[in-house]
Amino acid sequence: MDEPAADAQPSDEDRFSAIRRALEAEQEQLANQVEDLDHVENDALSFDENLSDRGTVAAEQGENKALAARLREQLDDVALALARLEDGSYGTCVQCGTEIADARLEAMPAARFCIDCAS
């Protein structure tokens, strides 16, 4: 294990590599969820002929589309956060340029807005 001891003060580099790992894990998880949704949608389409309750299927497909759109937005946020880690601008608000609070970044590593701009 190369994890630092819990009481060690992490350097910025350690902190950023931890954030990068968290973002990459999130990216993979989101991509899997999007893929699962695509499968659900294809299954629903191919079985559509045999289903009596088309209204329910349509509603579910609508929900899946909304969910997929939200997942893709989150993926965009994660991709942007990773790009900003690379160019050194990570941790500042894309709108006003203020530093985003550490607590907020810990809770939402892909946050692109400071708390003021997000609200």
Binding site for Zn ion (CB under 5 A): 93, 95-96, 98, 114, 117
Q: From CA 11, how far away is CA 40, in angstroms rounded?
A: 44
Task: Please write down the long-range contacts of 104-107, taking CB distance under 8 Å and 24 or more positions apart.
Answer: 105/19
Considering the complex, what minimum distance in angstroms separates the CB of residue 76 from Zn ion? 18
**Signed CA dihedral, 44, 45, 50, 54: sign only:** positive
Residue closer to Zn ion by CB (options 30, 100) is: 100
Considering the complex, what minimum distance in angstroms separates the CB of residue 27 from Zn ion? 24
Considering the complex, what minimum distance in angstroms separates the CB of residue 96 from Zn ion? 3
Residue 78: HSE in the Cβ half-sphere, 13 Å Cα cutoff = 19
Residue closer to Zn ion by CB (options 50, 119) is: 119
Residue closer to Zn ion by CB (options 30, 81) is: 81
